[in-house]
Structure 1
Amino acid sequence: MNPHTHDVRDTHPDKRTLRREFLAMRSALPKDDVRKTRTVLARRALDLDELATAGTVAAYVSVGNEPGTGALLDALHARGTRVLLPVLLPDNDLDWGAYDGADSLVRVRHPGKMALLEPGGERLGPDAVLAADVVLLPGLAVDARGMRLGRGGGSYDRVLARLAAAGARPALVVLLYDGEVVAHVPEEAHDQAVHAVVTPSGVRHFRRP
């Protein structure tokens, strides 16, 4: 089965319940707390050895009350790191484009989804992520083993499958709020552990296989 086209969106009932709970907690966060977290997360993440030595980082633009990535994107770009941002395709796979500052982003509304900020320049193709030394993954939680709870759309499962099929081994990093690091999240056969989680209170690394 082709991992580049297979739809791996999960239907795990426990995951669906957890997603609702974590999304509800995020929606209740005060706006001031969300804004302050962006700066703290950027500072914590920039201290990661993986990001300090990365030539290319695949990242994403946070939306709503997600842990903010804007300050981190700007800091990486300012120090000369090549930053790739996703472009959502109709089948939920991801294309990529280069980040060249906030002015390079365009607001795109995909049918049935919230508006996303995406890079407005050249499309580099889904395989562009294979050049990344670090991949920042959106998530709702991570557990003590490094297993990530995503949103369930399958886009980043495809990215991870693409990396694995090509033998690429970038560092996988998740940005979360402190309360989103938990003892256990359900996993399925296609799930992969991340290598580090960054929260406002610090960084935790997990063993790389």
Structure 2
Amino acid sequence: MRRSLLAARRALPDETLRRSARALAERALDLPELADAGSVAAYVSIGSEPGTRDLLDALRGRGVRVLLPVLLPDNDLDWAAYEGPASLAAAARAGKMTLLEPAGPRLGPDAVTGADAVLLPGLAVDGRGMRLGRGGGSYDRVLARLERADAHPALVVLLYDEEVVARVPEEPHDHPVHAVVTPSGVRRLRP
């Protein structure tokens, strides 16, 4: 399933990627969970992922504290504040894709527990709110950390319309998300 979803993303024309990123930002900014947030943990999209950069800048422009992940050697995530496009640095990891990460001071893996909303990357989500990620486990750790801290931010996945599917494979450690934002709108999910 991951291979076919990634292949479909790679086949998207650049103009579709740009249009989708603008639409995702518009739809996501209308979410009450983001409109009322003081702090949002997000990520910088890369390649043909649903675009987040317009959204990151819009949130920051609203005065929201945006936290971005820094991939650690064990695939866990540290966090740092987003201070605008110039604050991002390319981070190449052996055997992994090159990521854009915030260059500022690290806040520690637990910084995510103070976020009002967490934007999660994914490849697909189903009606139960189960999310299919890339398989590295980084965001599974984030979700487990939130649960251990008894933190309850809104969990939102950004996807393309065709990535909302009937069912995704599920593991015992998986946590459902609350909403999915696609270029055509928002779907509330019922875990």
Runs of 4+ in 1 over 2 A off after TM superposition: none
In structure 2, the gaps of 5 or more residues are none
Spell out the pairing of 1:186-201 with structure 2 (5 A cutoff).
Answer: 186-201=169-184
Spell out the pairing of 1:150-161 with structure 2 (5 A cutoff).
Answer: 150-161=133-144
- What TM-score does the superposition give when structure 1 sets the normalisation length? 0.90
- Please tell me whether the aligned partners of residues 71 and 78 of structure 2 are also in contact (alpha carbons under 8 angstroms): yes
Aligned counterparts of 1:180 and 1:47: Cα–Cα separation in 2? 21
2:7 alignment partner in structure 1: 24
Aligned residues: 191
Aligned counterparts of 1:86 and 1:158: Cα–Cα separation in 2? 12
Say whether residues 1:81 and 2:68 are aligned partners: no
Give 1:46's match in structure 2, choosing from 26, 29, 32.
29
Say whether residues 1:144 and 2:132 are aligned partners: no
Spell out the pairing of 1:95-114 with structure 2 (5 A cutoff).
Answer: 95-114=78-97
1:119 alignment partner in structure 2: 102
1:180 alignment partner in structure 2: 163
In structure 1, the gaps of 5 or more residues are 1-17
- Please tell me whether the aligned partners of residues 127 and 190 of structure 2 are also in contact (alpha carbons under 8 angstroms): no
Counterpart residue identity of residue 190, structure 1: H
CA RMSD across the alignment: 0.7
- Report the CA distance between 1:35 and its aligned residue: 1.0
Aligned counterparts of 2:184 and 2:22: Cα–Cα separation in 1? 12
- Report the CA distance between 1:207 and its aligned residue: 3.0
Aligned counterparts of 1:24 and 1:132: Cα–Cα separation in 2? 32
2:165 match: secondary structure: coil
Say whether residues 1:61 and 2:38 are aligned partners: no
Aligned counterparts of 2:75 and 2:62: Cα–Cα separation in 1? 31
Counterpart residue identity of residue 99, structure 2: L
Aligned counterparts of 1:116 and 1:186: Cα–Cα separation in 2? 26
- Report the CA distance between 1:144 and its aligned residue: 1.1
- What TM-score does the superposition give when structure 2 sets the normalisation length? 0.99
Aligned counterparts of 2:2 and 2:26: Cα–Cα separation in 1? 27
